[in-house]
Amino acid sequence: MYEKTLGICVTSPKIEHFGKTAFCAGLAQVLMDEGLRIGYFKPFSWSNFLYGNVRTDEDVALMKELLGIQEDLKIIAPIQLGYYYLEKLSTMDRDVVIETISENFRKLSQNRDIIIVEMLRDIFFGSSVNISTLEICKRLGLKVLMVSSTHIDAAIDAIVAERNYASEKGVSFLGLVMNNVADTEMDRVRRVYLPLLERSGIKVWGIIPEKTEMRSPTGLEIKDILNAEVLACEDKLSEVIVEKYLIGAMTPDTALRYFRASPRKAVITGGDRPDICLVALETDTSLLLLTGNIRPSPLVLNRAQERGVPVLLVPYDTYTTVNMLQEIAGKIKYGDKKRIKLAKQMVAENVNWRELLKALQES
């Protein structure tokens, strides 16, 4: 056990804001297996989840349960914000905000070895009201670890620039974990990005490969987002994974060729297109999404039941449905035992966490 509680701030590059919570959950589990007492803190959070009868951030609810944190939600996540967060932050007293965050961090630090501090968005969050991520890191003595789940040239530029800015502000930058790297990206990441990052003095602690189960939504997540009615195979919704969305607005012959080329898909069409529905059910289809509240024929539902393919009736038109689906990405959620377990495995197998831990301990 450590004499002093260590704090690690997990953030992301400005170009993207996802993948942090899964990494935090995975790292926390790995460290707990080593006998370390781990806490979690999210100074700024969203109010997007009902935990019992309390509104909180879903990530906070997940980590509270995972780590068995007994402290109140208001201590773990003291400042709740909405999408238009500057209205609230700009009316709050900066000194009071900083002191509230500092006091809650001190409370969580008692009898814990490491506190994982997950920040909203990036190191610039809150800069316009002088309560940025870096200001909080300086006040709490946190070291910054960046988790990047987007692998394009602009992301590498952003990572280097943000590391440089953190250094100018006197904040220790631990390094980077590259997350969700697809097989098709792996060669370029290793051949181009790693040498550039190393020449810039940025330590890369691990490259976590893309895992379909982590990024692709389940049928249940799609059903909840679309407020859909289940017409068939409700028991399969939490099992099916959707990797791609295809719109069925062509002839059956064309659709068959189109559908065969895309496994684990959701087909979006109308209930008045039984021909398209039946063709989709003859291929590797995870989900049927029937738009416009048009119910299908019993023939379609019977065939879907035989094939074990869930059918959802969506109240929106096809255009609206497609736009809503663009916002859906599978993410680790409260009670999601499968993804929580997978997050631990991905960190344990792909991150040099022992050396990362040593770097965190160095003054």
- Do 176 and 242 lie in one domain? The reply is no
Report residue 331's pLDDT band, with 50, 70 and 90 as the boundaries.
confident
How far is CA 226 from each of CA 181, 292, 312, 345, rounded to the nearest angstrom?
28, 12, 9, 31
- Do 31 and 169 lie in one domain? The reply is yes
Residue 4 has a pLDDT of 85
Q: Does the pLDDT at position 327 exceed 70?
A: no
- Do 173 and 258 lie in one domain? The reply is no
On whether residue 96 sits in a domain, the answer given is yes
Residue 252 has a pLDDT of 87
Strand partners, 49: 56
Residue 84 has a pLDDT of 87
d(CA 242, CA 122): 29
On whether residue 1 sits in a domain, the answer given is no
- Do 138 and 230 lie in one domain? The reply is no
- Do 201 and 181 lie in one domain? The reply is yes
Both tokens of 355, joined, read 């050396």
Residue with tokens 């059956």: 252
- Burial class of 59 by CB neighbour count within 10 A (0 to 12, 13 to 18, 19+): buried
- Do 117 and 243 lie in one domain? The reply is no
CA 170 to chain CA centroid, Å, is 29
Residue 213 has a pLDDT of 81
Residue 330 has a pLDDT of 65
The mean pLDDT of 165-184, rounded to a whole number, is: 94
Residue 145 has a pLDDT of 97
Strand partners, 206: 177, 351
Residue 257, domain CATH: 3.40.1390.20
Both tokens of 5, joined, read 């509680």
AA letter at 314: V
On whether residue 60 sits in a domain, the answer given is yes
Strand partners, 167: none
- Do 189 and 62 lie in one domain? The reply is yes
At 196-214, the pLDDT tens digits run 999 999 999 999 999 888 8
Report residue 363's pLDDT band, with 50, 70 and 90 as the boundaries.
low
Q: Give 151 or 291, the one with higher predicted confidence.
A: 291
Q: Domain range for residue 250?
A: 217-325
Phi-psi region of 18 (alpha: psi -120 to 50; beta: other; left: phi over 0): beta
- Do 172 and 301 lie in one domain? The reply is no
- Do 160 and 278 lie in one domain? The reply is no
Q: Does the pLDDT at position 52 exceed 90?
A: no
On whether residue 309 sits in a domain, the answer given is yes
- Do 167 and 253 lie in one domain? The reply is no
Residue 355 has a pLDDT of 97
Both tokens of 160, joined, read 């280097």
Residue 76 has a pLDDT of 98
d(CA 254, CA 280): 11
Residue 43 carries which DSSP code?
A: S
* Apex 312 CA angle, 308 and 315, nearest 5: 175
Q: What is the mean pLDDT of the chain?
A: 92
On whether residue 153 sits in a domain, the answer given is yes
User: Residues 49, 57: contact at Cβ < 8 Å?
Assistant: yes
Residue 40: its H or E element: strand 38-41
Residue 296 carries which DSSP code?
A: P
d(CA 31, CA 145): 16
User: Residues 26, 13: contact at Cβ < 8 Å?
Assistant: no
- Do 186 and 58 lie in one domain? The reply is yes
Residue 83 has a pLDDT of 81
Residue 362 has a pLDDT of 87
Residue 136, domain CATH: 3.40.50.300
At 248-271, the pLDDT tens digits run 988 888 989 989 999 999 999 999
DSSP alpha helices (H): ranges in 216-288?
219-226, 252-260, 274-281
Residue 205 has a pLDDT of 98
Residue 83 carries which DSSP code?
A: S
Q: Per the structure, how many domains does the chain have? A: 2
Residue in 182, 179, 210, 226 with CA at minimum distance from that of residue 322: 226
The mean pLDDT of 278-287, rounded to a whole number, is: 95
DSSP alpha helices (H): ranges in the chain?
20-33, 58-67, 73-76, 86-91, 94-109, 133-140, 153-168, 183-188, 194-199, 212-215, 219-226, 252-260, 274-281, 298-307, 318-325, 337-350, 353-361
Q: Does the pLDDT at position 287 exceed 80?
A: yes
Percent of the chain with pLDDT over 70: 98
Residue 50 has a pLDDT of 85
- Do 345 and 204 lie in one domain? The reply is yes
Residue 47 has a pLDDT of 86
The mean pLDDT of 180-190, rounded to a whole number, is: 93
User: Residues 37, 112: contact at Cβ < 8 Å?
Assistant: yes
Please provide the size of the chain in residues. 363
At 133-160, the pLDDT tens digits run 999 999 999 999 999 988 889 999 999 9
Residue 352 has a pLDDT of 98
* Apex 250 CA angle, 324 and 212, nearest 5: 45
Residue in 202, 90, 105 with CA at minimum distance from that of residue 155: 202
